[in-house]
């Protein structure tokens, strides 16, 4: 990086707080000849602005050892913040007497100077004055340019950071929404019977516990129906499992359509068994619902030539109602299941409600 050249011997350059050049020196060739730079060095970030105590072009052998050289007067005062006019010549990093002006840019934290050999500086006054004005203008222009560049870089950086943050926020929202949707889907799959698309055994167990607790708190009746398809094994064995699956789907749909209330709950318990929970429903209401379901299943007339009681698929239904001596849903199911056994024993295709032993 180069800044500017002034006249035949003047140059502008930048340096950091340690005194290292941040720009390329105009006098690289002279410095190589004096042994200050190697063949491949270009002075930038390798050369410190120190006073060798002698002119390196004239007496390089008498120069101070590099690590013992002090900073030049200009560098020392610029780094320390002294910007008062200096009207006497001083030695630059070549050991040449020069005049210079300098400043310290607090934004970039770098020093900027323009120096010119004293011999050239003592040319006619007007020429020198014009040169100094030009030098000052270049320094100001350079400083303004550097500040504008710094501002533009900061603005661009801020814009990129905002864009990146917005992208991350959008990505997080999308991932969160996808995760929520996946959880909803997973919950549905975990609680739905894949064949009939009604609730499964797991969902029923959860719903039964909640229904029993609610009934005990509100002191409202709760009824449970357990339905079993009559002679379904014979239907499967003779018509095939595809026909059996179709029958299960149809029966599940017709049971659901028979339950008008949103609080009524149907689930496939397993195999050819279904369960129905009827909140705020006493034994008479439950029996009425059970008979309506049984009649509707019989009315859809799914052909069953291998049934022991008729020509179409029928169901047997056991009914139980929650009483004070029942503490758990499991006990309510046992009563309904026992009633189902009685319904089958009485010839199937009927509804029977649980009656406690006398």
Three-state DSSP class for residue 314: coil
Task: Tell me how far apart the alpha carbons of residues 88 and 98 are, in angstroms, rounded to a whole number.
Answer: 9
- Judge whether 272 counts as a catalytic residue: yes
**Whole-Å CA distances, 102 to 3, 158, 168:** 14, 32, 46
Residue 335, classified by CB atoms within 10 Å of its CB into exposed (0-12), middle (13-18) or buried (19+), is buried
Measured in degrees and rounded to the nearest 5, phi and psi for residue 21 equal -65, 135
Could you say which of 11, 272, 291, 330 is catalytic? 272
68: left (phi over 0), alpha (psi -120 to 50) or beta: alpha
Burial code (b: 16+ CB inside 10 Å, e: under 16) for 190-224 equals ebbbeebebbbeebbeebbeebbeebeeeeebbbb
CA distances in angstroms from 324 to 98, 186, 281, 330, listed in the order given: 110, 37, 15, 14
- Residues acting as catalytic residues: 272
């Amino acid at each position: 990086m180069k800044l500017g050249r002034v006249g035949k011997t003047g140059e502008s350059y930048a340096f950091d707080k340690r005194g290292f050049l941040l720009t390329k020196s105009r006098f690289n060739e002279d410095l190589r000849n004096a042994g200050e730079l190697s063949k491949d060095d270009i002075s930038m970030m390798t050369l410190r602005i120190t006073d060798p105590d002698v002119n390196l072009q004239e007496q390089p052998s008498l120069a101070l050892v590099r690590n013992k050289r002090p900073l030049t007067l200009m560098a020392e005062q610029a780094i320390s913040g002294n910007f008062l006019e200096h009207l006497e010549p001083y030695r630059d990093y070549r050991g040449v007497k020069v005049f210079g002006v300098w400043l310290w840019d607090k934004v970039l934290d770098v020093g900027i100077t323009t120096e010119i050999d004293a011999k050239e500086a003592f040319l006619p006054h007007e020429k020198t004055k014009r040169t100094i004005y030009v030098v000052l203008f270049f320094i100001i222009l350079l400083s303004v340019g550097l500040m504008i560049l710094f501002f533009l870089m900061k603005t661009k950086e801020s814009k990129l950071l905002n864009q990146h943050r917005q992208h991350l926020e959008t990505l997080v929202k999308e991932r969160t929404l996808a995760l929520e949707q996946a959880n909803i889907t997973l919950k549905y799959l975990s609680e739905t019977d894949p064949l009939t698309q009604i609730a499964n055994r797991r969902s029923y167990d959860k719903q039964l516990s909640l229904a029993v607790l609610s009934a005990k708190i509100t002191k409202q009746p709760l009824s449970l129906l357990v339905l079993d398809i009559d002679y379904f094994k014979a239907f499967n064995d003779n018509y095939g499992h595809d026909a059996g699956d179709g029958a299960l789907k149809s029966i599940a749909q017709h049971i659901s359509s028979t339950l008008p209330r949103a609080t009524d709950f149907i689930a496939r318990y397993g195999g050819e068994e279904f369960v129905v929970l009827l909140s705020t429903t006493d034994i008479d209401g439950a029996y009425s619902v059970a008979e309506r379901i049984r009649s509707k299943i019989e009315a859809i007339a799914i052909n069953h030539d291998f049934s022991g009681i008729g020509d179409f698929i029928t169901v047997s239904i056991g009914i139980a109602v929650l009483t004070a001596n029942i503490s758990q849903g499991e006990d309510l199911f046992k009563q309904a299941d026992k009633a189902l056994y009685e319904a089958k024993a009485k010839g199937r295709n009927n509804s029977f409600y649980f009656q406690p032993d006398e």
